[in-house]
Structure 1
Amino acid sequence: MNQANFPNLFSPIALGNLTLRNRIVSTGHETHLNEGGRIGDRMIAYHEARARGGAGLIMTEVALVHSSAVFVADPIRVDTDDCIPGYTRLAEVIHSHGTGLIAQLFHPGREMLASEDGTTPVSYSASPTPNERFHVMPRPMTPEMVAEVIAAHGDAAARMAKAGLDGVEIVASHGYLPAQFLNPQVNQREDEYGGSLDNRTRLIRDIAADIRAKTGPDFVIGLRLSGNELSHEGMDQSEMLEACARIAADEVLDYFSVVAGSSATLAGSVHIAPPMFEEVGYTAPLGQAIRERTGITTIVTGRINQPQDAERIVASGQADLCGMTRAMICDPEMGEKARAGRIDDIRACIGCNQACIGHFHDGYPISCIQNPVSGRELQYGTFPPAPAKRRIMVIGGGPGGMKAAAVAAARGHEVALFERDPQLGGQARLAQMLPHRAEFGGIITNLTREMELAGVDIRKGAEVDADSIADFAPNAVIVATGATPRWPDFEGRDEAHVVDAWQVLQGQVNVGKSVVVADWRADWIGIGIAELLAQNGHSVKLAVNGYMPGQTIQMYVRDASIGRLHGLGVEMLPYSRLFGADEDSVYLQHIMSNEAVICEDVDTLVLCQGHTPSNAVEDMVREMGLEHHLVGDCIAPRTAEEAVLEGLRAGIAV
């Protein structure tokens, strides 16, 4: 397979006077790689990796056009000329790879996530209509402020033109300020910016006109919007189509960039970075409707992770270009691999949201659980070749061991991986068995391919002992033996019907009709086991040692999962510590009051109580006096993200 198999995806296209080499777009997304609100070496290296890897167009993340637009700590700002040098450097680098560069211009309105100093800022919107998700009551913008914000967009665009960028994108998606003016349920104004659809589209049209007046006819102007806000107070598809038609009639825009959802509600926010349970390319019909209604070039974004899917969407006329942002976070070389026909070599995104938008929400730089180089390009962008070829033994074929083996072999070592089970993957094999988590198994496929390309000798069904280690005679051992389910001591453990999550997933135990899931970690496991059992007809109580189910996982994944549990009738018991059990009851303790919480008529207690490191091999190689490196859960039970990152580091260290 080669470029001829993607004739539409790899055909050039014009956005105004900008010609792009292909239809692959890295859309704007928060990276937390800026330096004091400016673009520096880390962000340039991050975007350059995607330009070098084959992206046709890159959008930089949202940049604040006005002092009232601060919505997170340390945002990128384009409200003064201080921003120009960083954007100039970025444009020079991106253009050197033949890739277009567009900057997102942003004002969140009432969608305030955080602040610069910990105090709650005053937010502004079309009207004093409250935000449900962040519980913000905005202040209505005065006419003078509206004019100021319009002019601020044009001024920022002029700075981007001076910096050498190809264009700007007005961010009216996900319920941000321009969308707040569009929405009649938010916009209650009685001046020329409220009331009729013409008036409610006026802010966007005035912004676009001001940008055009301050930049010129060759500068690209795009508009990002949600084709359907998918929220109880959001604009639906028919309303958005009418708005797009009015905006397009001014003939100022060069393209629409279409997504779904809204930041204003928990349900709508899931679509900002849709997790793996959403269908591949599910937003494409929204883009198609806008494209057909307006005749304007259209980008569509939403779970388009593979070039095959992008080719289908472009070929069918649903969009002209495809936003493939997380696909390129996971594999920056996706475009070049597809162009060269190396489809099997693409590291496909699995939509887990853990280290990309999950890092953003936690205030950390962007990365990827499968590709820890993302966001760390300056540190790990190139692997140093091995100064001398060594024999490396990797023990354990979970994600951490697989990554370590692939990196060590790619550097030039002779590497053999030993996995005692007949299949690779470790706990990832179990994770993919949870409801709506099947795609997680892609991490096994991707890491297996990385090992094959690097020339790793993969030995499955291979139990190791001191003799087999001595026979292999390694120069160094990487231990990635993982962990096993933790069974804490509690009263009645040996008398009650108690099983663990692994046994349930592997079908090793019978589970009664009435179940209590005791979830200590508050992660994917407890919430997934509860959903699985409820789907299978069990009556389920989910007792969480935390303030909500899924407390430790990315909010879009968690919130959607809690919604499904509610729909299945699962009773959720937060603040619950496992205390004991007997033949028909489970005894919990409220972790704040220490009062008893008793669950009666229980047939089975399912333990989701974390894991215990498997250290026998570590002890063995230490006693043998061998150089060894530890990876993943055998150090301390955590997640696949830490295991893969530590595998990368171990592969570099040997």
Structure 2
Amino acid sequence: MSSLFPHLFSPVSLGPLRLRNRIVSSGHDTMLAEDGLIGPDLVAYHERRAAGGAGLLVLQVSGVHETARYTSHVLMATEPESADGYRAVADAVHAHGAGILAQLFHPGREVMDGEQGMAPQAVAPSDEPQERFHVIPEPLEIGTIREIIRGYGRAAARICGAGIDGVEVVASHGYLPVQFINPRVNTRTDEYGGSPQGRMRFLLEAIESTRAAVGPGKVVGLRISGDDLTSNGMASGEFLEVVRAVEDQGLLDYISVTAGDSSTLQGAQHIVPPMQYEPVYAGRLSAEVKKATELPVMVAGRINQPHEAEQAIREGLTDLCIMTRAMICDPEIAVKAERDAVDEIRACIGCNQACIGHFQQGVGISCIQHPESGRELTFLPRPAVRRRARLLVVGGGPAGLKAAAVAAEAGAEVLLVERERRVGGQVLLAERLPHRAEFGGAVTNLEAEARRAGASILTGAPLCEEMLDSFAPDQVLLATGSTDREPAVELIDEPEILTARQFLAETHELARGGVLIADWKGDWAGLGIAVALARRRPVTLATAASSPGAAVQQYTRTALMAELVRSGVTFVNDVRLAGLDASTAYLQSTLCDEVLEVDDVTTTIVNHPPRAQTPDVDFGAIPTVRIGDCRAPRTVEEAVYEGLVAANEFILQPDTARVRP
């Protein structure tokens, strides 16, 4: 039992299921399903988190009816052959002492993909349009409604019959059950609309169908938003009426509370809240739900550290804590916290880039800090070297630190040299942006991992040939990052112009007047600098991208853009900076020959593409591999992944590695 987290590591029961602790991984789409079925990658993904000490794992949504295919890769529980996958993941998770549930799901109008590239087609209680995916749904007929309700029971029986401990009816984020409940979405006048009781009927009958199918020996839970947090959405008081109705029904074993609504950008950001939101910010919603029910309650929403979870339980905000992204970033967070090894935890930084960001790109889940997540069968367990192997890593940014950590963990002798006084590279600048301070945790985590693994790290030590001679490496990994590229801009009258790196790295007293941010990529830097300046002076954010923040994960972008809109920032899209004089910026359209003038500009901050850099050292016959920005400037995700791959390939050289243990 943990001495630091006694509440978090006390057992708890959800109906017939006894859990060893109160750490939960909630249902989240991994993009690891194979043709709608659970395959080896998805099994390995969940098994690792069970082995890492989680109390409860909830599988990603399982469709209960053919009309529930909200993406082309959704997990489906509609056919008998799906049972084998549920059985495989149940056996794998149970072998490590964790509980496992599956989500029963129908999106209604919240459909992202259309068939063969066509526009999405969806069903819903009424034909009220959906704003975010631009869907106008087909109203459901009574017969199809009843067929879907029966589908909840059939799917639950198939899933639980395969050994899963129970199921969770998903009525959160504006999905089909809540579309029936919401009077702004359900305009029906038949038995499934027309009154509060009629609008509640679908959810209650879906729960009845589910419980009847699985009996009292399996868990049945409900996931629900505590507040849609969007215009025209349902508010907390309306959701509490839902909680009271299901409480009176007496068929559930727990309630899982989250926040937000999928139908708008404003509400959807709460599905996976970015780092702008405070830890446990949805705890106020779960506290309200706890007052309305005797059932155990769990809550999601930026709970990334065990002390945050412990405090939430101790203060009565919740009974269990959902720490999904925390376990994507560090699958062993539970076992580390239980033995009070908090300094070893790889803390999630809430960037959303490779978890929900990958899902929205249609690729498998991962983590920018821990690329092994979602790739368990490729990179784990770690192989080990069988002879003396020396690896020199030049550069202490994310790529170099990851490579050093992986190689040292496998038993290689690793020396990392960094010319600056601190490791971190460009992350040290990124963390200076507003709402980006947590990003520096990526370097803190990677450096700690490298040192714990036994890598030697020298800072303030530019690479020289004497180092090569004394260390005599078998291979050199170059992770020397990138540098500013001189912008190709015509300048008249010596206007004030800074690069984004100069602005972030140094203290500048900017001249009075307006600021133009000339943004090449549409990434974090452009948005972040605009946020930093917008409350103090007029700001124009001009981007060559199709929209500001186009390269930023959607939920993160939404939160930042909302702040910029409220601050009165001017946006110009599809332009490049062509020239500057003392008070005017000249923007060239990327679409045609038109030139746009922006007046009253006294300072221009240029976020242009950087240039790869490598040290001027002769490596002779020593094998050398470039990784990260010195290979080609990109993001932290690519840098860390390439560090992993390069170290893994070094370990697996025929004369270096032995088989994986």
TM-score (structure 2 length as normaliser): 0.96
Amino acid at match of 2:480: T
CA distance in 2, matches of 1:64, 1:588: 49
Amino acid at match of 2:519: D
SS at match of 2:548: coil
Q: Encode CA deviations 1:567-604: one digit per residue, 9 max, x unaligned.
A: 11111100111111122211111111220111122111
CA distance in 2, matches of 1:503, 1:227: 44
Q: Does the Cα contact within 8 Å between 1:33 and 1:366 map onto a contact in 2? A: yes
Q: Which moved more, 1:455-464 or 1:116-125?
A: 116-125
CA distance in 1, matches of 2:410, 2:262: 44
CA distance in 2, matches of 1:377, 1:476: 26
Amino acid at match of 2:524: W
Is 1:519 matched with 2:515? no
Alignment partner, residue 428 of structure 1: 427
Q: Which moved more, 1:128-137 or 1:147-156?
A: 128-137
Amino acid at match of 1:570: V
Alignment partner, residue 369 of structure 1: 368
Q: Does the Cα contact within 8 Å between 1:32 and 1:365 map onto a contact in 2? A: yes
Alignment partner, residue 556 of structure 2: 557
CA distance in 2, matches of 1:433, 1:111: 37
What pairs up with 1:132-531 in 2 under 5 angstroms?
Answer: 132-492=131-491, 495-512=494-511, 513-531=513-531
Amino acid at match of 2:270: H
Q: Which moved more, 1:507-516 or 1:169-178?
A: 507-516
Q: Does the Cα contact within 8 Å between 2:121 and 2:135 map onto a contact in 1? A: no
CA distance in 2, matches of 1:621, 1:162: 64
Q: Which moved more, 1:490-499 or 1:461-470?
A: 490-499
SS at match of 1:616: coil
Is 1:651 matched with 2:650? no
CA distance in 2, matches of 1:649, 1:215: 45
CA distance in 1, matches of 2:436, 2:42: 31
Seen in structure 2, the aligned counterparts of structure 1 residues 298 and 547 have a Cα distance that, compared at 3 Å, is: same
CA distance in 2, matches of 1:55, 1:106: 23
CA distance in 1, matches of 2:121, 2:271: 24
Q: 1:560: Cα distance to partner?
A: 1.7
Alignment partner, residue 3 of structure 1: 2
Q: 1:131: Cα distance to partner?
A: 0.9
What pairs up with 1:19-58 in 2 under 5 angstroms?
Answer: 19-58=18-57
Q: Does the Cα contact within 8 Å between 2:120 and 2:135 map onto a contact in 1? A: no
CA distance in 1, matches of 2:612, 2:560: 28
User: Runs of 5+ in structure 1 lacking a partner?
Assistant: none
Q: Does the Cα contact within 8 Å between 1:201 and 1:247 map onto a contact in 2? A: no
Amino acid at match of 1:539: P
> Matched residues, percent identical?
47
Amino acid at match of 2:340: G
Alignment partner, residue 584 of structure 2: 585
Runs of 4+ aligned residues of structure 1 deviating over 6 Å after TM superposition are none
Match of 1:635 among 619, 631, 634: 631
Amino acid at match of 2:337: A
SS at match of 1:335: helix
CA distance in 2, matches of 1:621, 1:357: 43
CA distance in 2, matches of 1:225, 1:493: 59
Q: Does the Cα contact within 8 Å between 1:110 and 1:125 map onto a contact in 2? A: yes
SS at match of 2:177: helix
Q: 1:509: Cα distance to partner?
A: 3.5
CA distance in 2, matches of 1:520, 1:316: 47
CA distance in 2, matches of 1:113, 1:464: 50
CA distance in 2, matches of 1:571, 1:354: 26
CA distance in 1, matches of 2:467, 2:424: 22
Q: Encode CA deviations 1:293-321: one digit per residue, 9 max, x unaligned.
A: 11111110110001111111111111111
TM-score (structure 1 length as normaliser): 0.97
CA distance in 2, matches of 1:505, 1:493: 25
SS at match of 1:626: coil
CA distance in 2, matches of 1:412, 1:189: 66
Q: 1:475: Cα distance to partner?
A: 2.1
Q: Does the Cα contact within 8 Å between 1:198 and 1:246 map onto a contact in 2? A: no
Q: Does the Cα contact within 8 Å between 1:197 and 1:243 map onto a contact in 2? A: no
Q: Does the Cα contact within 8 Å between 1:402 and 1:647 map onto a contact in 2? A: yes
SS at match of 2:490: coil
Q: 1:132: Cα distance to partner?
A: 1.4
Alignment partner, residue 100 of structure 1: 99
Amino acid at match of 2:367: C
Q: Does the Cα contact within 8 Å between 2:369 and 2:637 map onto a contact in 1? A: yes
Q: Which moved more, 1:215-224 or 1:357-366?
A: 215-224
Q: 1:377: Cα distance to partner?
A: 0.2
CA distance in 2, matches of 1:196, 1:288: 28
What pairs up with 1:597-616 in 2 under 5 angstroms?
Answer: 597-616=596-615
What pairs up with 1:49-88 in 2 under 5 angstroms?
Answer: 49-88=48-87
Q: 1:627: Cα distance to partner?
A: 1.5
SS at match of 1:463: coil
Q: Does the Cα contact within 8 Å between 2:70 and 2:110 map onto a contact in 1? A: yes
SS at match of 1:3: coil
Amino acid at match of 2:630: C
Q: Does the Cα contact within 8 Å between 2:463 and 2:615 map onto a contact in 1? A: no
Alignment partner, residue 533 of structure 1: 533
Q: Which moved more, 1:476-485 or 1:368-377?
A: 476-485
SS at match of 2:551: coil
CA distance in 1, matches of 2:581, 2:153: 69
Q: 1:621: Cα distance to partner?
A: 4.2
Across the two proteins, how many residue pairs are aligned to each other? 649
SS at match of 2:269: helix
Q: Does the Cα contact within 8 Å between 2:491 and 2:579 map onto a contact in 1? A: yes
Q: Which moved more, 1:19-28 or 1:497-506?
A: 497-506
Q: Encode CA deviations 1:111-140: one digit per residue, 9 max, x unaligned.
A: 111134212243111111111111111111
CA RMSD of aligned residues (A): 1.3
User: Runs of 5+ in structure 2 lacking a partner?
Assistant: 651-661
Q: Does the Cα contact within 8 Å between 1:73 and 1:117 map onto a contact in 2? A: no
CA distance in 1, matches of 2:635, 2:122: 37
CA distance in 2, matches of 1:44, 1:296: 30
Q: Does the Cα contact within 8 Å between 1:577 and 1:590 map onto a contact in 2? A: yes
Q: Does the Cα contact within 8 Å between 2:38 and 2:85 map onto a contact in 1? A: yes
Q: 1:55: Cα distance to partner?
A: 0.8
Q: 1:54: Cα distance to partner?
A: 0.6
Q: Encode CA deviations 1:303-344: one digit per residue, 9 max, x unaligned.
A: 000111111111111111111000000000000111111110
CA distance in 2, matches of 1:42, 1:463: 42
Q: Does the Cα contact within 8 Å between 1:74 and 1:116 map onto a contact in 2? A: no
Q: Encode CA deviations 1:484-542: one digit per residue, 9 max, x unaligned.
A: 1222222117932211111111234432231111000111111111111213x121111
CA distance in 2, matches of 1:116, 1:373: 32
SS at match of 1:191: coil
CA distance in 2, matches of 1:200, 1:115: 28
Q: Which moved more, 1:537-546 or 1:345-354?
A: 537-546
